Amino acid sequence: MRISRSSICVLTLFVFCVATPVSNAAELDWNSVPYLGKATPTSQSVSWVSKAGGSGYVKYDRNPDDFKEIVYADANGSIFHAELTGLRANTKYYYVCESDGYKSEVHSFTTWRTDGPVSFVAMGDTRSQRDRHEQVVEVIRSFAPYDFVINSGDMVSRGSDPAGWKDFFEITAPVISEAPYFMVAGNHEGDADLYWDLIDMPKGEDSERYYSFDRSNAHFVVIDSNDTWPLNAAQREWMKRDIESHVEADWKFVSFHHPPFGTNPGRRMGGLQMRLVLHRWMRDLGVDMVINGHDHHYVHALADGVHYILTGGGGAPLYELGEPDRYTVTQARVYHACKIEIDGLVLKMKAIDIDGNEIDSLTIDKSEGAGEAAPGESNNEDFALPAPREDKAARKFIGPEAR
Whichever domain contains 376, its CATH number is 3.60.21.10
Do 278 and 383 fall into the same domain? yes
CA-to-CA dists, residue 285 to 208, 354, 398, angstroms? 22, 34, 24
- Is there a contact between 327 and 261 (Cβ–Cβ < 8 Å)? yes
Give the pLDDT of residue 12: 31
In a domain, 13, yes or no: no
pLDDT tens track, the chain, 403 positions: 433 333 323 323 333 333 333 345 557 999 999 999 999 999 999 999 999 999 999 999 999 999 999 999 999 999 999 999 999 999 999 999 999 999 999 999 999 999 999 999 999 999 989 999 999 999 999 999 999 999 999 999 999 999 999 999 999 999 999 999 999 999 999 889 999 999 999 998 778 999 999 999 999 999 999 876 556 788 889 999 999 999 999 999 999 999 999 999 888 777 888 888 889 999 999 999 999 999 999 999 999 999 999 999 999 999 999 999 999 999 999 999 999 999 999 999 999 999 999 999 999 999 875 544 443 444 333 444 434 333 333 333 233 222 2
Residue 6 φ/ψ, nearest 5 degrees? -70, 135
The domain tally of the chain equals: 2
Give the pLDDT of residue 401: 28
Residue 42, helix vs strand vs coil: coil
Do 363 and 288 fall into the same domain? yes
Do 90 and 167 fall into the same domain? no
Do 74 and 220 fall into the same domain? no
In a domain, 9, yes or no: no
| DSSP per-residue string spanning 288-346 | -EEEE-SSSSEEEEEETTEEEEEE--SSSPPPPP----TTEEEEE-S-EEEEEEEETTE
Whichever domain contains 88, its CATH number is 2.60.40.10
Give the pLDDT of residue 269: 75
Do 76 and 183 fall into the same domain? no
Cα angle vertex 98, ends 95, 167, to 5°?
Answer: 85
Give the pLDDT of residue 191: 87
Do 101 and 141 fall into the same domain? no
Question: Which residues span the domain enclosing 102?
Answer: 31-110
